[in-house]
Structure 1
Amino acid sequence: MDGEGTPLTHTTRASPATVQWLLDNYETAEGVSLPRSTLYYHYLRHCQETNLDPMNPASFGKLIRSVFLGLRTRRLGTRGNSKYHYYGIRIKANSPLNQYTDDQTMAMRQQPMYQAKKPSSSKVDGESDTSQPGSNNPGSNEGSQSQQQHQQFLGDASLAIPNFDEIDMSSNPLPEGITIQDVRIFELLYREHAEAIVDVVVNLQFSLIEALWQGFWRNQPIGEHQNAENDFEKKLPKETLFALCKYDPVHVFVRKSDYAFYQAIIEVLIPDVLRPIPSSLTQAIRNFAKSLENWLKSAMQGVPDEMIKTKIGAVSAFAQTLRRYTSLNHLAQAARAVLQNTSQINQMLTDLNRVDFANVQEQASWVCQCDDAVVQQLEQDFKKTLKQQTSLEQWAIWLESVVNQVLVTHEGSPNFPKAARQFLLKWSFYSSMVIRDLTLRSAASFGSFHLIRLLYDEYMFYLVEHKVARATGETPIAVMGEVRQFSDLSSAVALGSLEADKKPSVTSTATKIVSSTPATSTNTTVMLVTPSGTDGPQVKRLKSE
């Protein structure tokens, strides 16, 4: 304890001078607060003056809570312009830090960059907005009501900002001209940048994210928000930022932070993929996802290529996941109408009982190689569940039980992701054989089965990606991002092979096959079923002569 009896726990990383500095300059008090960023900038100034290596914002926050017990974190300010504050602490009256509390020099938050661009209407981005700034158009109130109605479908935004790890510099020396303090400032700015993004997402003002990215990466349009950009320059000059963008530990930090952050944003926008949400909100999210990659590429012009690739990889996975989840949600709402219709359920049962499952299993066994007993059990459980006219949520529980039953033997194995992918392929192939049988029999309920099949395939994919994420210790969006990177790499390798085959000195395998093929050939049609991405599964026919 100090002389005043204040417990000093969890302060082993902090120097005694820093702890004493906190006690000399701050005090607890009821009904007051300080911006979290202001305290950290005070601390950075203290480290600079005393030649100390600063700790990252998360560690400093733990130190503050250890020295001043009972502090609470609150988000204070007007909507869209709020900041995180420590509630219950203030600067002492005799502290020299009082001269540094000017918001223009200390707060340095991203909100001023987009505050001027906010329209007077609070309509969700993607909806039409007929109200004009400063007018008394009643459409403004309608837009505000619409926004409030949409916000009730969002998840808990208080958990949207994960705990970003500290940049690990242990195995990589700092670039020339870069200090540890530069790295710590980058960590702080990156976290505050994420907080600003959460602000506009929660307020459903998606288009303002482009301005946030432009400001952070120093690509503001000439004449727009120059004061905010100058504030960035005071803390982390553009040359220093770009030098950090070439530093490998920063790439690792940004990649890991982005995947965790975007996963949290997804859970805010779509907390439950099966829960009905307004079509206007769904369309706004899809428009947002469609614009993300172009916004980021435009905002990062001139940034080192290594950082652009890192950022684009995470944002592309983020956008793709948003499109998939909104499509899944749309399918779920369409399927509810079918599952609640007694006559349709009865017709589906009649048609399903006519399917020759023994023949289907015989045809599928060579590809799937599934246990006959397991397949028969799934068939019986499906018919039983359909006959009970269960709700969509009960169907979801059954589908998850199927996934758990099949993959339980692979849990803890390094081959778990491969086993999960094989399960998805087998499930899709088997269900396609059932749909084929229904088609050949001209089943009256074919349309209902087709819709249900699309939904269950999509939901199976959703369940499996989450199980793989838990098994690998990654976020679901990171799993998908790695799959996309692997696909891009495979495409690049294949393209390189094709380029090599074009060289006259190389005789390709394809040429050998063609030369050994008889002159008489028949037309061949190959059907490719692409994975369900933005708008559900797609079938393409490739015809070769």
Structure 2
Amino acid sequence: MGQLPQVPHHHMPNPPPNHHFQTPSRSSSLAPGAGMMDSPGINHPANTATAGHIRGSKHGTPLGTPDSARKRQRKADHAFPGEDGDLELKNMAAKVLDIPLDEFAAKVRAIEASTDSPTIHTPTSSSGRLVVKNDSTKERQRQVFGMTWLMRACQASNSSVVPRNRIYARYVGVCADSGLKPLSPASFGKLVRIVFPNLTTRRLGMRGQSKYHYCGLKLINDDGTTSSVGSSANTPLHSHNQTFDSSFLPGTPYGSNSPASFHSQISTPLVSHPTSASTNVSTITSFLNDQSAPTLKFVPELSSLMNDKNSTTDQPLDIPDIKPFLPNDTDQDASDTLFGLYKSHCISIFESIRYVQLKRLFSLISTFHGSLTNPVLKLYTSSDLLQWVISCDSVMYKSLIQMLAKLALQEIPTLVLEQLKVLVAKYVEKLSESLSSLPMKLALVKLKMAKQFIQLVSRFVRVVETAQSANKILSHHMDRQVMYNDWTKHVNVEQIAARELPCEGDNFKFAVEVLQEKIPELLKKESSDYESFIVEWGTYIAALPSSFTSVPPRLFLLCTSALLTSALREISLAGGGGFGAWWVVRCWIDEWVGWCAELGGFVSTQFEESSLLQGTIESHHKFVKPEREDGGPDNVIPAKMTDLASESIDLLDGQFGSILNDEQNDATKK
């Protein structure tokens, strides 16, 4: 790659006094008008008079006043204190140009998965290693990645123009494929101006359909999407200094503290909804109070199917293509941006749960919709794309459940289980808060899928807790011997089966065989492997429903529970010494069979708009404010929520760092 363009320095005049805040003047490395998708109100001083006519519709605050212009004179948000952040950022990006982009993306992902900001060592061709300071943030690393991509994907070309939203759309697509959270449009626009400071921005196109273009910039390997400046000679041109492009204003001041951007976001509604926000809140809250039974289905060989999934840990989610769902007149750049952003969002949620980073998870949920630009948000909330959103969420939730399913018979640290309980308690609530201003149908389908996912996570936690207790008993020879004696001496299998099972013929005979022969056989087995007992019991029990194909899943669950209850009653009446052990094992069997049925139902369900909305909108009218169990404020994250990522937890790989060993050592000491 050729020599990087040098960054010019412009000396800004001191701003006039202001009673809100005072910012000293400084030398800026950004060209006037920097920012691909700058917040409204960031105009050149020379055009203040023109910009002064542009006002927020609600507050009436001029968007081009010195108050908003003063933001340009503050230190860039990605700069190190006391340093020229722009120049250092460009130098950092230049040093990693020789590293393959996917390799560098993997390093950034590793930093994202960590709660701290460690010293980052990136190999380079010149000095061997690039050392980034300990106080560098995750945002800083995303900026280095974004600038590196710009240097690879774009080049200066005086005869070329390219829509600036197309540059961002391509960048978002790369982030989605790499499993990274993209920068906000405004932050990415600053990077464009740092790398290509001599760009000009013009508005090209027919009236009502014009877009902002970068003049003097070419997107490499995108011959069909760029055009020359000369070919647009008859197209109305509007200087970037005279107006702003509302199509790239973030819905909320995402990554920006500009007061002007905040006022603009409040004063300009992004999407016109047929229902008010209060109506949405009422409907959503009422919906959250409803309880629905999960879908049950026993899938043959489900355990082996779950273990085959997600074998490659670094593969992004297989998000469905957005194109089949798009209306004919959809802007391609907006759809590409939405696809990339939502794919990155789903991957980020998956990674947050994978590494048990709940603070990051709840932040992602609360900020995503506000970070979408106006046209992208309109496309996202359109009825045409509702099924696509459902399909994306389905892929994400099923992948998460498949990840957890492999751990159902594995010992999991108590600290991790506590965090999963926080996830169960808070996830739907946090999601509902972020959806209150969106169209009702979109909010309800997302919440219904989230509730089904969380119900299954709750079942998973109970399965793991009861399995750990049951395994302590099943792995102990004396406990198994007492259980064996009680079962063979005090339980009349044929009498119990005849009384409790509503079946006859082959089903009845096989059930008696299982109770009389297989259970005693499992109790008599010996093994030196601590975890082999619960795995063998779980594998056998999970396969039992396939021998009773004519029995509905819910009836199978009822019969299993009835048989075990009757057997324990007989042991208790006979004064059997193994009653306590049998009670613990029985609790696990109930949870395990229920988990297998709910898991099969969830992964087999084809989520569709009609089924998700059935019986929801018409039946929810009354607002009922749910009460928090802890009695605290609604938006307070529970104090017991702890980010455990620093302990090298990876649920996908079944790794828990030193936490599990520490808990086992503590249990041994006790």
Shorter-chain TM-score: which interval? 0.5 to 0.7
Counterparts of 2:468 and 2:548, CA distance in 1: 33
The partner residue of 2:381 within 234, 245, 250 is: 245
Number of the residue aligned with 1:535: none
2:579 paired with 1:443: no
With normalisation by structure 1, the TM-score equals 0.55
Shift of 1:309: 0.7
Shift of 1:102: 9.4
Contact 1:245 1:304 in 2 (8 A): yes
Contact 1:286 1:323 in 2 (8 A): yes
Q: Deviations over 1:423-482 (max 9, x none)?
A: 333222222222232233333221211110111122223334445567x476xxx79x99
Q: Deviations over 1:104-141 (max 9, x none)?
A: 9956945679999xxxxxxxxxxxxxxxxxxxxxxxxx
Given the superposition, is the C-alpha separation of residues 258 and 294 from structure 1 closer, same or farther in structure 2, using an over 3 Å criterion? same
The partner residue of 1:322 within 433, 444, 457 is: 457
Structure 2: tracts of 5 or more residues without a match = 3-35, 37-99, 113-137, 176-180, 185-252, 257-309, 622-670
Given the superposition, is the C-alpha separation of residues 281 and 111 from structure 1 closer, same or farther in structure 2, using an over 3 Å criterion? farther
Counterparts of 1:285 and 1:378, CA distance in 2: 35
Number of the residue aligned with 1:433: 566
Bigger radius of gyration, 1 or 2? 2
Given the superposition, is the C-alpha separation of residues 161 and 405 from structure 1 closer, same or farther in structure 2, using an over 3 Å criterion? same
Root-mean-square deviation (CA, aligned residues, Å) is 4.7
Counterparts of 1:491 and 1:359, CA distance in 2: 50
Given the superposition, is the C-alpha separation of residues 85 and 420 from structure 1 closer, same or farther in structure 2, using an over 3 Å criterion? farther
Shift of 1:274: 1.5
Given the superposition, is the C-alpha separation of residues 247 and 327 from structure 1 closer, same or farther in structure 2, using an over 3 Å criterion? same
Shift of 1:303: 0.6
Counterparts of 1:88 and 1:303, CA distance in 2: 33
Contact 2:346 2:393 in 1 (8 A): no
The partner residue of 1:359 within 487, 492, 495 is: 495
Shift of 1:190: 0.3
The partner residue of 2:107 within 73, 76, 80 is: 76
SS in 1 for 2:335: helix
Aligned residues: 358
Number of the residue aligned with 2:588: 455
Shift of 1:247: 1.2
2:542 paired with 1:387: no
Number of the residue aligned with 2:507: 371
SS in 1 for 2:321: coil
Q: Deviations over 1:355-394 (max 9, x none)?
A: 1112102212336877332022212110111122456534
Counterparts of 2:342 and 2:315, CA distance in 1: 14
SS in 1 for 2:106: strand
Higher normalized helix content (fraction of residues)? 1
2:359 paired with 1:298: no
Contact 1:167 1:253 in 2 (8 A): yes
Number of the residue aligned with 1:260: 395
Number of the residue aligned with 2:483: 348
Moved more, 76-85 or 342-351: 76-85
Counterparts of 1:254 and 1:373, CA distance in 2: 48
Alignment of 1:396-415 (within 5 A): 396-404=535-543, 406-407=545-546, 410=549
Moved more, 418-427 or 77-86: 77-86
Counterparts of 1:114 and 1:173, CA distance in 2: 28
SS in 1 for 2:338: helix
Contact 1:198 1:265 in 2 (8 A): yes
Q: Percent identity over the alignment?
A: 14
Given the superposition, is the C-alpha separation of residues 212 and 334 from structure 1 closer, same or farther in structure 2, using an over 3 Å criterion? same
Structure 1: tracts of 5 or more residues without a match = 1-24, 26-40, 42-69, 117-154, 219-228, 411-415, 496-545
Counterparts of 2:504 and 2:359, CA distance in 1: 46
With normalisation by structure 2, the TM-score equals 0.45
Given the superposition, is the C-alpha separation of residues 251 and 466 from structure 1 closer, same or farther in structure 2, using an over 3 Å criterion? same
Counterparts of 1:208 and 1:360, CA distance in 2: 52
Number of the residue aligned with 1:419: 552
SS in 1 for 2:390: helix
Shift of 1:401: 3.8
Contact 1:210 1:299 in 2 (8 A): no
Given the superposition, is the C-alpha separation of residues 441 and 304 from structure 1 closer, same or farther in structure 2, using an over 3 Å criterion? same
Counterparts of 2:586 and 2:617, CA distance in 1: 30
Q: Deviations over 1:283-320 (max 9, x none)?
A: 01211221101111111221111111111112212222
Contact 2:345 2:368 in 1 (8 A): yes
Counterparts of 2:154 and 2:418, CA distance in 1: 52
Q: Which has the higher contact order (CA 8 A, sep 6+)?
A: 2
Contact 2:338 2:376 in 1 (8 A): no
Shift of 1:326: 1.5
2:345 paired with 1:193: yes
Contact 1:242 1:304 in 2 (8 A): no
| Letter aligned with residue 358 of structure 1 | E
